[in-house]
Amino acid sequence: MSLLDVRNLEVTYPGGAAAVRGVDLTLGPGEKLGIAGESGCGKSTLALALLRLLPAGTRIGGEVLLDG
Q: For the chain, how big is the Rg over CA atoms in Å?
A: 12
- Please give the Cα distance from 44 to 32 (Å, whole number): 17
Angle at 55 between CA 52 and CA 59, to 5 degrees: 75
Which domain, by its residues, includes 15?
Answer: 4-66
Write down the pTM of the prediction.
0.88
pLDDT given at position 68: 73
* Alpha-helical runs (H) found in the chain: 43-50
The end-to-end CA distance of the chain, in Å, is: 7
**Per-position pLDDT tens, the chain of length 68:** 899 999 999 999 999 999 999 999 999 999 999 999 999 999 999 999 999 999 999 999 999 999 97
Task: Specify the number of domains making up the chain.
Answer: 1
Q: Nearest-CA neighbor of 49 among 68, 62, 31, 39?
A: 62
pLDDT given at position 1: 82
